């Protein structure tokens, strides 16, 4: 195992030994290539550089309490990558190609997988670009799919803590019938300005509302939102919200714990009725929300300085599955080694 100060890792890129690549030329995919090269040779007129034909995924591998290394729900990430590729009219890789590359990258970079007990994990980033050179706006027949990884630290260094969030109606993250429900680069570029503005004001994240009426909750930064009340897990249902695999997992676990689950429109006016609120995603699993400030109405919704009981239960249970501390009843983990 690599000699790394695992406890000091952040969510940053660290060079590892190998990455996996597939090249698509005129609609035909190559065999998988393994390389230690961190760089990509690309034509200056490649479609991804001009027209945003770029997408990515994020998932993690965990070294468990039993010493085994587990990939969490890799097939779900592969399916979502396919959805993104279809939306951008890119060649669509098979699920088997994506899963095989993820497994291979984990195996070949085994010395960079953090030890159990450090709170760190091995983050995998599949990323895909349209590479056809040209000037016209049209689908790319050529593409490059790269899967690489990096060890990342525990999201909450001092333990899971609630964060401050602000609602910003000045900017929309995604429009109805746009690309909000797929994981493409443009969605994240669209969130940078409001995110930076929020950070300058002391907020950890920006809550985005629907682009049509600015009335319903959509996403919380780059993460899905959920609220807890009356023994119910409630999360937004919208065709411009990214279908988070973490959220999908939490909905199942909420049911396992005896909670009701609702996917529906959540008006901002409903925020005062929630007992707990949080954001969920691959990086942190759950980021509890302590308060939400509405920049427009100047109203603050407060949920406390402590992590809610249900949020903590869900967070702990999902982490227990990922680290092999409890039974994987839903067969979410792929044991790599």
Exactly one of 183, 215, 260, 298 is catalytic; name it. 183
CB-based contact 167:289 (threshold 8 Å): no
183 a catalytic residue = yes
Give a three-class secondary structure readout of the chain. Answer: CCCCCHHHCCCCCCCCCCEEEEEEECCEECCCEEECCCCCCCCCCEHHHHHCCEEECCEEEEECCCCCEEEECHHHHHHHHHHHHHHCCCCCCCHHHHHHHHHHHHHHCHHHCCCCCCCCEEEEEEEEEECCECCCCCCCCCEEEEEEEEEECCCCCCCCCCEEEEECCCCCCCCCCCCCCCCEHHHHHCCHHHHHHHHHCCCCEEEEECCCCCCEEEEECCEEEEEEECCEEEEECCCCCCCCHHHHHHHHHHHHCCCEEEEECCEHHHHHHCCEEEEEECCCEEEEEEEEEECCCCCEEECCCCCCHHHHHHHHHHHHHHCCCCCCCCCCEEECC
Catalytic residues: 183
């Amino acid at each position: 195992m690599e000699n790394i100060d695992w406890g000091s890792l952040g969510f940053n890129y660290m060079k590892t030994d190998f990455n996996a690549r597939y090249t698509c030329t005129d609609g035909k995919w190559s065999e998988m290539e393994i390389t230690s090269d961190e760089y990509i040779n690309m034509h200056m007129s490649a479609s991804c550089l001009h027209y945003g034909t770029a997408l990515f995924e994020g998932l993690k591998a965990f070294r468990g309490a039993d010493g085994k290394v587990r990939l969490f729900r890799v097939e779900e990430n592969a399916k979502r990558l396919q959805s993104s590729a279809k939306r951008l009219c890119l060649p669509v890789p098979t699920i088997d190609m994506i899963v095989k590359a993820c497994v291979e990258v984990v195996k070949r970079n085994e010395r960079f997988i953090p030890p159990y007990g450090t709170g760190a994990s091995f983050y995998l980033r599949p990323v895909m670009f349209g590479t056809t050179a040209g000037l016209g706006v049209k689908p790319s027949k050529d593409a490059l799919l790269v899967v690489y990884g990096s060890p990342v630290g525990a999201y909450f260094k001092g333990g899971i803590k609630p964060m401050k969030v602000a609602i910003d109606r000045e900017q929309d993250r995604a429009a109805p019938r746009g690309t909000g429900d797929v994981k493409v680069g443009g969605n994240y570029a669209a969130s940078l300005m409001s995110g930076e503005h929020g950070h300058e004001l002391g907020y950890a994240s920006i809550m985005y509302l629907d682009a049509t009426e600015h009335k319903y909750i959509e996403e919380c930064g780059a993460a899905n939102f959920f609220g807890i009340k009356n023994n119910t897990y409630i999360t937004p249902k919208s065709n411009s919200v990214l279908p988070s695999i973490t959220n999908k997992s939490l909905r199942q676990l909420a049911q396992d714990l005896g909670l009701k689950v609702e996917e529906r429109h959540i008006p901002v006016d409903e925020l005062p009725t929630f007992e707990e609120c949080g954001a969920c995603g691959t990086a942190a699993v759950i980021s509890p929300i302590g308060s939400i400030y509405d920049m427009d109405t100047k109203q603050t919704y407060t949920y406390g300085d402590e992590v809610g009981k249900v949020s903590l239960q869900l967070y702990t249970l999902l982490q227990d599955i990922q680290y092999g501390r409890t039974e994987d009843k839903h067969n979410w983990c792929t044991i790599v080694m």
